[in-house]
Amino acid sequence: MNNYDIPAGFRFSGVASGIKKSGKLDLGLIVSDQPAACAGVFTRNQVVAAPLLLTKPRVAKGKCQAILVNSGNANACTGSAGLEIAEASLNLLSRELQVPGNLISVASTGVIGEQLPFEPFIAGIPQLVKKMSVDQFSIVAEAMMTTDAFSKVASATEGGEQNYKILGLAKGAGMIHPNMATMLGFILTDAQVNPELLKSMLQQAVGKSFNSITVDGDTSTNDMVLLLANGAADSAMIEPDTHEAEIFSQHLDRVLLDLAKMIVRDGEGATKLVQVRVVGAESEESARIAARSVATSALVKTAFFGEDANWGRIIAAVGYSGIDIDPDRIDISFNQVPVAINGLAVGGEQEAKATKVLQLDEFVVTINLHQGSAESSYYTSDLSYEYIKINADYRT
């Protein structure tokens, strides 16, 4: 547990409040000693869960001191009753913590369309406040889990003059067509960052990580990523267009990409982590569209599960992605093994070598369009029997 770098000035706790009938952890709390600068990225789904209706306007004001998260119930499609319960839990925490309600964010994940009970919060919130501790971040990561097979934590440290840490907690399990498993991410740093810069850096980092494992816009009713910077490390303010901003951005990107890869690896029933890398594209946007088309193809993903170097399915997924291509110039390789050159099978022993690559836990599919120099990557998993089992039985 001490392999992670914990930013100063944050405390954490988690309890089993009874929202999950299994008796597992289902309520988590993150508190900063001081109000932190804050930025957020939220679902683009038009069906928005109750907690987001409260959290979005609060985060928009740029300040946050505490995050309350529950699992087991998404509090989505629950109408005005659901909104009242989210508000009541926020107000209860505000009183117990002695922190103004406008500095509290709430988040939920779990089943949609069932009313969230309030009783668990009445018992759970005082316990959460009593148990807060600087090293209990992993308990919060656990309390966020739904179909997750493991909790997700990543961190980074900047030494030297700019002495700060970044800690990321996330939940989510990758999907075929990743349109509904809620993704929550809470990123905490004791650096001091210009609030506008915080926002743009978060958006950029989310684009290259969480939004490169899910289809843009095709998000759950509950997705959110919050970034809190409380300045407790006492280092100088990080300002836009500086070397320090660039370094912070690199650390942030890495923490988010680490978390995103964990989500793919924890893909419901996933056994492999595959980077789909499109190079030689006319633009980054067209590379992204092609990579996404391949990464979300159920046929490509089942071929990965079957350890079948079926590049025909890959080239077909590029073909229907919507970007302009010249099929006769496309090269495809698995790690360093070419399986198709100029749109034709390489065949022979390359096929056997490629099959060996597919037997690995983690590999890269590179698709060269030979149209330009832009590139983009999507991260995906294979599609296995387990996926069906997990999702068919989810509510039972």
Among 75, 192, 212, 221, binds its own copies (CB under 8 A): 221
Q: How far is the CB of 373 from its own copies (least distance, A)?
A: 21
Q: How far is the CB of 150 from its own copies (least distance, A)?
A: 21
Q: Please choose, out of 178-186, 190-198, 274-282, 357-365, the segment that lies near its own copies by the rule CB under 8 A.
A: 178-186
Q: Does 312 bind its own copies (CB under 8 A)?
A: yes
Among 56, 313, 329, 353, binds its own copies (CB under 8 A): 313
Angle, alpha carbons 97-99-103 (nearest 5°): 130
Comparison of 79 and 160: residue with beta carbon closer to its own copies? 79
Q: Does 328 bind its own copies (CB under 8 A)?
A: yes
Strand 273-281 relative to strand 362-368, pairing: parallel
Positions 62 through 81 that interact with its own copies (CB under 8 A): 74, 76-79
- Is 170 in contact with 184 (CB distance < 8 Å)? yes
CA dist., res. 324 & res. 110, Å (int): 40
Q: 370: left (phi > 0), else alpha (psi -120 to 50), else beta?
A: left
Other Cβ atoms closer than 10 A to 35: 18
Among 298, 352, 362, 373, binds its own copies (CB under 8 A): 298
Alpha helices in 306-342 (DSSP H): 311-319
116 Cβ partners below 8 Å, 6+ apart? 19, 50, 70, 73, 75, 78, 82, 85, 86, 108
- Binding string to its own copies for residues 92 to 131, with x set by CB under 8 A, is what? -------------------xxxxx----------------
Alpha helices in 61-194 (DSSP H): 79-97, 119-131, 137-143
Q: How far is the CB of 129 from its own copies (least distance, A)?
A: 31
User: Which member of 43, 182, 214, 366 is catalytic?
Assistant: 182
Positions 30 through 49 that interact with its own copies (CB under 8 A): 44-48
Q: Please choose, out of 23-31, 237-245, 317-325, 368-376, the segment that lies near its own copies by the rule CB under 8 A.
A: 317-325
| Three-class secondary structure of residue 103 per DSSP | helix
Q: How far is the CB of 298 from its own copies (least distance, A)?
A: 4
Q: Does 310 bind its own copies (CB under 8 A)?
A: yes
Q: How far is the CB of 149 from its own copies (least distance, A)?
A: 17
CA dist., res. 345 & res. 331, Å (int): 9
Each as own residue / partner, the long-range contacts of residues 343-349 (CB below 8 Å, 24 or more positions apart, any chain) are 343/315, 345/311
CA-to-CA separations, 377 to 1, 207, 238, 244, 374, in angstroms, rounded = 31, 11, 29, 26, 11
Q: Please choose, out of 87-95, 237-245, 248-256, 335-343, the segment that lies near its own copies by the rule CB under 8 A.
A: 335-343
Kind plus residue range of the DSSP H or E element containing 245: helix 243-265
Q: Does 317 bind its own copies (CB under 8 A)?
A: yes
Q: Does 345 bind its own copies (CB under 8 A)?
A: yes
Q: Please choose, out of 52-60, 117-125, 135-143, 340-348, the segment that lies near its own copies by the rule CB under 8 A.
A: 340-348
Comparison of 65 and 70: residue with beta carbon closer to its own copies? 70
Q: Dihedral through CA 166, CA 167, CA 168, CA 169, nearest 10? A: -170
- Binding string to its own copies for residues 352 to 391, with x set by CB under 8 A, is what? -------------------------------xxx-xxx-x
Comparison of 265 and 301: residue with beta carbon closer to its own copies? 301
- Is 82 in contact with 93 (CB distance < 8 Å)? no
Is-catalytic flag, 182?
Answer: yes
Among 23, 34, 160, 392, binds its own copies (CB under 8 A): 392
Kind plus residue range of the DSSP H or E element containing 58: helix 50-60
- Say how many residues touch its own copies, by CB under 8 A: 67
CA dist., res. 65 & res. 100, Å (int): 9
Q: How far is the CB of 296 from its own copies (least distance, A)?
A: 7
Q: How far is the CB of 90 from its own copies (least distance, A)?
A: 22
CA dist., res. 300 & res. 112, Å (int): 30
H/E/C letters for each residue in 134-160?
Answer: CCCHHHHHHHCCCCCCCCEEEEEEECC
Binding site for its own copies (CB under 8 A): 44-48, 74, 76-79, 111-115, 175-177, 179-181, 217-221, 296-299, 302-303, 305-306, 308, 310-313, 315-320, 322, 324-325, 327-328, 340, 342-345, 383-385, 387-389, 391-396
- Which residues belong to the active site? 182
